[in-house]
Amino acid sequence: MAIVTLNEWEIAMKTTERIFNALLFEAIALAIIIPVSALISGKGTSELVIVGIALSLL
């Protein structure tokens, strides 16, 4: 049985990948949270988009 070793290049995530993953995570979270909170609170989605983006930037 061969031992497979991975070098640092294959293991480490590049900075651009990390930024992309963080932005994608935030976009998916906002896409789920905003409509659900609009249904629960009865407020307009435009108001909640502003609040959601502001909270994401914190």
pLDDT means per 10 residues in the chain (58 residues)? 61 78 91 90 85 82
Distances (CA, A) of 16 to 28, 30, 46: 18, 21, 30
Question: What are the residue ranges spanned by the domains of the chain?
Answer: 31-58
Q: Is the pTM of this model over 0.85?
A: no
Angle formed by the axes of helices 45-57 and 15-41, nearest 10°: 140
> What is residue 28's predicted lDDT score, i.e. its pLDDT?
93
**Token code pair at residue 12:** 């480490």
